[in-house]
């Protein structure tokens, strides 16, 4: 019996060593942790239960039968994050470069199937050289099976990808279909075709970092939702995110203890909006002052900064926040901000996370670049996302809400439940000067008359009361009481139910 137990222990030891001490050392030399070290940081202590530790590939071509390491380049299983179950896979770059084989893919598919069946998030730690060339189409088939699982799990359980090394070719499409993608600066990258192929085909000289590094994907492409300095920080932030999310679409987000009075008054908000309507202010100040313990978890912070998206808690419950940022492009909607917000709104609706929308929007950004880029269709994505969302929706207009952008930003007409406005709100088709010049074209050559007309337009429409008279604004509230009013609104909506016509699925304007 002792011999059998020793054999098991020896095999486990070999599996845990991955590609061996030399390769582990090379991984550390790059500033990267090993697959198992990452899982130790991500999961609660001693909570990891591993599957398929002894799985090995079955390839017999190109001498591969002589090298059949345990685990086949990926560590899979389940564990807990702050006591809540998650399923995980962590690719091991020390074993055949973390390349994906048929059996490697089957291990990942197995835990994804279990996650859907048991209603728990899936977290993938990606560090792979891509498809295992020696296996040819079997490797590609494995990727295809993973992609299909991503699609089936979408909207059922949260899916989080952390890019902690190379991710190229077909490998990028699995993370792209997950809900959140995090990257590690200077040690991870994503691209469909690498720098060498780009040079051959287009004659462009570009580095891997420039082509698909963390900075590129968080600021330019919007592929990634956040970038962190190292593996440790990235994994800590994943733990923080998981804490905010429900385990599946059958559950609500966890309710955490809070130490902040729901009725807290913030006198400083009464002076947040400047007297000059063209002077910017920081909308993040409002968000943090509304949140429990002033804690705000921002998503895609570096992309489309004229729109803010992220999570706060109110009375210990997760709320998704979408807000215009007057500090950038005056808070205008454009292609990038519309896509960013629409994706976030749809995620929140998938998982029954209530939506708080903070509005200060002068309209859509004008220009040929926007029109040629399809701002009509991209703006419609956000409109569609808000209109189809059935979660509790509370909207607060702090200043400008002009034109079609007023409608798009969770207006009463898109079935928002509570629509509040501050006394500083201006709800109109456009700004006073532009409106006066159109309405009173005959006086266009007389600046004094136009100024008088603009003043008249301001007096009549540059306030929230016309909309309030028509019931489009439920209440004009004092800024200092916003946390109290919003908290009470969401509390009243906790049992909201909406019946919609049967459909197979909608056809959002992609």
Q: Give whole-number Cα distances, 211 to 39, 164, 222, 292, 300, in Å.
A: 28, 16, 13, 39, 19
Q: Is the overall model pTM greater than 0.75, yes or no?
A: yes
**pLDDT tens-digit readout, 17-33:** 767 788 888 889 888 99
Backbone angles phi, psi at 72, to 5 degrees: 55, 40
The pLDDT-based confidence of 453 (bands split at 50, 70, 90) is: confident
Q: Are 146 and 105 in contact (CB under 8 A)?
A: yes
> Residue 90's beta-bridge partner residues?
75, 125
d(CA 333, CA 382): 10
Helix (H/G/I), strand (E/B), else coil: 424: coil
Q: Are 153 and 140 in contact (CB under 8 A)?
A: no
Which of the pair, 18 or 122, is modelled with greater confidence? 122
DSSP symbols for 288-316: HHHSGGG--EEESTTS-TTEEEEEEEETT
pLDDT score of 41: 96
Report, as residue numbers or ranges, the catalytic residues: 169-170, 404-405
Q: Which residue in 355, 352, 350 sits closest to 310, CA to CA?
A: 355
pLDDT score of 443: 73
Give yes or no for residue 279 having a pLDDT over 80.
yes
Helix (H/G/I), strand (E/B), else coil: 209: helix
**pLDDT tens-digit readout, 42-71:** 999 999 999 988 777 676 666 666 666 777
pLDDT score of 61: 67
**pLDDT tens-digit readout, 65-102:** 666 677 788 999 999 999 999 999 999 988 877 888 88
């Amino acid at each position: 019996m002792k011999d059998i137990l020793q054999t098991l222990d020896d095999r486990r030891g070999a599996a845990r060593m991955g590609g061996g001490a030399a390769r582990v050392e090379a991984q550390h030399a790059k500033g990267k942790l090993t697959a198992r070290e990452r899982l130790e940081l991500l999961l609660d202590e001693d909570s990891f239960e591993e599957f398929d530790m002894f799985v090995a590939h079955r390839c017999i071509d190109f001498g591969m039968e002589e090298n059949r390491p345990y685990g086949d380049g990926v560590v899979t299983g389940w564990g807990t994050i702050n006591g809540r179950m998650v399923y995980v896979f962590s690719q091991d770059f020390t074993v055949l470069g973390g390349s994906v084989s048929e059996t490697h893919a089957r291990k990942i598919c197995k835990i994804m199937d279990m996650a859907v069946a048991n209603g728990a998030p899936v977290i993938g730690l990606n560090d792979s050289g891509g498809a295992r060339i020696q296996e040819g189409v079997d490797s590609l088939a494995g990727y295809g099976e993973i992609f299909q699982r991503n699609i089936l799990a979408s909207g059922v359980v949260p899916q989080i990808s952390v890019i902690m090394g190379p991710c190229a070719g077909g490998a990028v499409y699995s993370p792209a279909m997950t809900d959140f993608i995090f990257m590690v600066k200077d040690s991870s990258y994503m691209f469909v075709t690498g720098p060498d192929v780009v040079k051959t085909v287009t004659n462009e000289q570009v580095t891997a970092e420039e082509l698909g590094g963390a900075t590129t994907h968080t600021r330019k492409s919007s592929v990634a939702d956040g970038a962190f300095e190292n593996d440790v920080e990235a994994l800590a932030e994943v733990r923080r995110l998981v804490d905010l999310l429900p385990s599946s679409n059958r559950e609500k987000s966890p309710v955490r203890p809070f130490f902040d009075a729901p009725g807290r008054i913030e006198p400083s908000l009464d002076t947040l909006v400047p007297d000059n309507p063209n002077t910017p202010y920081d909308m993040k100040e409002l968000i943090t002052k509304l949140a429990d313990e002033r804690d705000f978890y921002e998503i895609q912070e570096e992309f489309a900064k004229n729109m803010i998206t992220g999570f706060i808690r109110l009375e210990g419950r997760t709320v998704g926040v979408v807000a215009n940022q007057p500090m950038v492009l005056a808070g205008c909607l454009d292609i990038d901000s519309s896509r960013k917000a629409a994706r976030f709104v749809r995620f929140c609706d998938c998982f029954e996370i209530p939506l708080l929308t903070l509005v200060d929007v002068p309209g859509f950004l004008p220009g040929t670049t926007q029109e040629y880029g399809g701002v009509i269709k991209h703006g419609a994505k956000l409109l569609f996302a808000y209109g189809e969302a059935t979660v509790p929706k509370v909207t607060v207009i702090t200043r400008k809400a002009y034109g079609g952008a007023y409608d798009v930003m969770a207006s009463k007409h898109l079935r928002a439940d509570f629509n509040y406005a501050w006394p500083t709100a201006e709800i109109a088709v456009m700004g006073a000067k532009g409106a006066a010049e159109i309405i009173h074209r005959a006086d266009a050559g007389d600046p004094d008359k136009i100024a008088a007309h603009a003043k008249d337009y301001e007096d009549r429409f540059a306030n929230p009361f016309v909309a309030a008279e028509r019931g489009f604004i439920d209440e004009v509230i004092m800024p200092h009481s916003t946390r109290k009013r919003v908290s009470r609104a969401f509390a009243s909506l906790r049992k909201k139910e909406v019946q919609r016509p049967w459909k197979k699925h909608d056809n959002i304007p992609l």
